[in-house]
């Protein structure tokens, strides 16, 4: 099956069923799609009632019409299975499909994304509607890809789901309840289970203190949605074995482990809604870039930007519009990091209901003479001119570890700064210095292959799974370089603390340290860290008290009873180096620390130092390198090039100094031979 494409796609979520009774609108949509160079639409996402108006009564007349219209106009369809929102008749006749909340209340019908994922009836209906869609449209020229449901999320706590969970646990623990009790440490508070049937999913009304249970519940809900997805996909595979499936992921959603979900789709796609212009756009760009890199790394292949807004959303606290130029910049950011599409929510604003004020390509005025439409159309031209980039990939010397199970366990842990461990922010803080230097980064999990990276950065890797200390030792021995921080290597995959000192097992040898205690600082407290060259930095939130055994000390704490104890260490281990950072900084330390490492390891970057807020990321074909240089500041910025390039958009040859206007992007191409 082909999971990469030979052009870049530009489009939106399209809900023509909302306009069925408005003559002329759909034809006008087709005209406007051409005008804005939109060549793909995600359709039928919320179309279930349209195609199955009553139980077992199917009517595809309108969907046929829409698919044909798209095909006639050279617009491809990412055709959705409609399981994201179910018809009202279904909830009424079969209330088992309603989701039960963690407090065991059952939802009424309404909203969306709120089904029981276990319900046999719901699964049967989803299978059947998908089968009919696949059979009907398998040879349709508009069909490009399947869009599974919409933004899978959440969990159900009904009795059917509970029973499934218990079944899942029995399998996981080989029917050995003693083993489960030991792993869950249930003698604590006398929580020992003496029968499988006593086990309830975590609930605010019941158990939340058994952290390994919480973890298993998250793992179960991840596998349950994967199982649900497999049921969705089965009929699609039967009729359309060559049509890829995708599911639009949501940012770095907590609910499910996307490292597992990535395996049940063919193409990764995600919905990206940064809060542009809410403060620091450079920081916002770094946060978005980190996620793009994570989604690309899931399959090491191009992904789709399934949703974004051309202007504003309606669900931020402050729904600020993108300033002129930002839509083009933020869309090309996605392409720079590996997206082969730029798609919006939504094509046309709804006339009623909750999303009527959400940004769209076509506003209520209905015509093309809007700022937003014109910017979208301009981007359409740009994407068409960049089509040679489609299918190209990125290579990186650096990986940052960002792991769902670690995040679940760390956030659940009672300790440190209890309610805000800042795991996501810490990973992005360790990513930012590379972004600023135009160094490509992959974002991976600890189980992935590390051997292709020169440097692996693992911030706050609190949970170190069995085998990982040995894997890290081997990686560093063979010449890899690794960075760890405070609060790392404390628990195993069952959330049981490692005995014998932190970080776990062999990691003490790899890093040449023992981490004895962590000092947690209140928001107005700080410490200072002094490097051996005399430079000093502010330490906030966490100061870990280390003993340097074999490691060299690069910096020490200046204040408090642990003044003089190591704050940054490095250990030469085999052919590589293992760095340990024992404090949280305000960004300035990490910037300089990683700056030195980038130089020392000679990490690949296409362009040297760039002004603050300007970055560069590359994609490669077999023959060429495409460098996307982007300016997230509101001032023109100069960048110095050390190669000769073709500016893909203007066709001009550029070298030496080049200027990027405010929010400017250049795509520079050079042959790999040179
Ligand atoms: C999500 C959904 C869309 C829409 C947008 C609004 O991403 O998938 O249906 O509600 O949010 O931003
Ligand atoms: Zn359920």
| Catalytic residue from among 50, 155, 307, 493 | 307
- Other CB atoms closer than 10 Å to residue 514's CB: what's the count? 16
Distance CA 663, CA 368 (A): 23
Low-confidence ranges of the chain (pLDDT < 70): 674
- At residue 674, the pLDDT reads 60
Contact 613, 629 (CB under 8 A): no
Q: How far is the CA of 404 from the centre of ligand 2 (A)?
A: 23
Q: What is the pLDDT of residue 1?
A: 92
CA dihedral 347, 353, 354, 359 (to 10 degrees): 20
For residue 251, what pLDDT is reported?
Answer: 87
Check residue 253 and give its pLDDT: 78
CB 655 within 8 A of CB 643: yes
C-alpha Rg value of the chain to the nearest Å: 26
Q: Is the CB of 490 under 6 A from ligand 1?
A: no
Cα of 407 from ligand 2 centre, angstroms: 25
Helix (H) or strand (E) holding 269: strand 267-271
Cα-to-centroid distance, 499 and ligand 1 (Å): 46
What residues does the ion ligand 2 have nearby, CB within 5 Å? 116, 118, 156, 158, 160-161
Which tokens in the block code for residue 469? Answer: 């200390």
By alpha-carbon position, which residue is closest to atom 4 of ligand 1? Answer: 345
Residue 151 designated active-site: yes
pTM: 0.98
- Beta bridge partners, 200, equal none
Is 150 a pocket residue for ligand 1 (Cβ < 6 Å)? yes
Question: How far apart are the C-alpha atoms of 575 and 665, rounded to whole Å?
Answer: 40
**Does 307 participate in catalysis according to the annotation?**
yes
314-365 residue pLDDT tens: 999 999 999 999 999 999 999 999 999 999 999 999 999 999 999 999 999 9
Q: Which ligand is closest to the CA of 15, given by its number?
A: 1
d(CA 291, CA 213): 28
Q: Is 299 in the pocket of ligand 1 (CB under 6 A)?
A: no
Of 151, 155, 375, 606, the catalytic one is 151
> Is the bond preceding residue 346 a cis peptide, omega within 30 degrees?
yes
113 lines ligand 1 (CB under 6 A): no
Asked whether 392 and 7 are in contact (CB, 8 A), the reply is no
Q: Which of 355, 360, 361 should be mutated for ligand 1, with most atoms under 8 A from CB? A: 355
For the chain, give the number of residues.
674
pLDDT for the residue numbered 500 = 98
Distance CA 621, CA 100 (A): 49
Long-range contacts of 494-498 (CB under 8 A, 24+ apart): 494/183, 494/184, 494/212, 494/215, 495/211, 495/212, 495/215, 495/409, 495/412, 495/463, 496/183, 496/185, 496/212, 498/464
């Amino acid at each position: 099956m082909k999971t990469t494409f030979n052009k870049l796609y530009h489009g939106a979520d399209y809900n023509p069923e909302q306009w069925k009774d408005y003559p002329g609108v759909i034809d006008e949509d087709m005209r406007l799609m051409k005008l804005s160079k939109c060549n793909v639409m995600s359709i039928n996402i919320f179309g279930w009632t349209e195609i199955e108006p009553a139980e077992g009564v199917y009517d595809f007349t309108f969907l046929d019409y829409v698919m044909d219209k798209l095909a006639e106009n050279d617009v491809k369809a990412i055709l959705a299975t409609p399981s994201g929102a179910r018809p009202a008749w279904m909830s009424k006749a079969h209330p088992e499909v309603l989701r039960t909340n963690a407090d065991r209340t059952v939802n009424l019908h309404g909203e969306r994304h709120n089904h029981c994922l276990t319900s046999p009836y719901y699964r049967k209906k989803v299978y059947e509607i998908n089968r009919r869609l696949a059979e009907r449209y398998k040879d349709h020229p508009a069909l490009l890809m399947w869009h599974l449901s919409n933004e899978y999320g959440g969990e159900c706590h009904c009795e059917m789901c509970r029973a499934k969970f218990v079944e899942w646990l029995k399998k996981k623990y080989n029917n050995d309840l003693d083993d489960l009790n030991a792993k869950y440490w249930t003698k604590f508070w006398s929580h020992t289970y003496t029968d499988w049937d006593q086990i309830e999913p975590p609930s605010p009304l019941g158990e939340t203190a058994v952290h390994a249970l919480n973890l298993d519940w998250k793992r179960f809900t991840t596998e349950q949605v994967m199982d649900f997805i497999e049921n969705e996909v089965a009929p699609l595979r039967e009729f359309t074995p060559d049509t890829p499936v995708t599911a639009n992921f949501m940012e770095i959603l907590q609910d499910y482990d996307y490292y597992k979900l990535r395996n049940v789709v063919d193409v990764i796609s995600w919905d990206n809604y940064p809060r542009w212009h809410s403060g620091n756009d450079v920081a916002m760009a770094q946060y978005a870039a980190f996620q793009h890199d994570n989604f690309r790394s899931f399959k090491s292949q191009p992904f789709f930007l399934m949703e974004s807004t051309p202007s504003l959303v309606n669900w931020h606290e402050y729904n600020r519009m993108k300033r002129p130029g930002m839509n083009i910049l933020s869309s090309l950011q996605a392409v720079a990091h590996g997206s082969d599409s730029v798609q919006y929510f939504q094509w046309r604003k709804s006339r009623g209901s909750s999303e009527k004020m959400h940004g769209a390509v076509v506003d209520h005025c209905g015509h093309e003479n809007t700022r937003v439409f014109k910017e979208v159309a301009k981007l359409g031209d740009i994407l068409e001119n960049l089509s040679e980039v489609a299918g190209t990939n990125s290579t990186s010397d650096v990986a940052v570890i960002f792991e769902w199970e670690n995040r679940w366990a760390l956030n659940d842990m009672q300790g440190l700064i209890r309610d805000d461990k800042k795991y996501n922010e810490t990973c992005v803080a360790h990513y930012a210095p590379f972004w600023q230097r135009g160094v490509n980064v992959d974002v991976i999990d600890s189980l992935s292959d590390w051997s292709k990276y020169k440097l692996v950065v693992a911030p706050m890797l609190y949970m170190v799974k069995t085998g990982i200390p040995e894997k890290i030792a081997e990686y560093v021995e063979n010449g890899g370089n690794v960075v760890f921080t405070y609060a790392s290597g404390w628990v195993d995959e069952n959330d049981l603390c490692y005995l014998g000192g932190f970080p776990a097992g062999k990691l003490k040898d790899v890093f040449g340290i023992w981490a004895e205690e962590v000092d947690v600082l209140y928001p107005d407290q700080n410490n200072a860290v002094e490097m051996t060259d005399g430079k000093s930095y502010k330490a906030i939130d966490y100061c870990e008290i280390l003993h340097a055994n074999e490691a060299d000390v690069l910096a020490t704490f200046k204040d408090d009873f642990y003044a003089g104890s190591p704050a940054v260490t490095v250990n030469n281990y085999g052919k590589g180096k293992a760095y340990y950072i024992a404090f949280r900084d305000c960004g300035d330390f990490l910037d300089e620390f990683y700056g030195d490492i980038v130089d020392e390891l000679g990490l690949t970057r296409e362009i040297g130092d760039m002004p603050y807020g300007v970055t560069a990321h590359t994609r490669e074909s077999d023959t060429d390198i495409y460098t996307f240089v982007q300016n997230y500041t509101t001032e023109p910025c100069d960048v110095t090039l050390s190669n000769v390039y073709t500016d893909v958009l203007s066709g001009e040859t550029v070298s030496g100094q080049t200027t990027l206007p405010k929010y400017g992007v250049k795509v520079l191409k050079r042959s790999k031979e040179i």
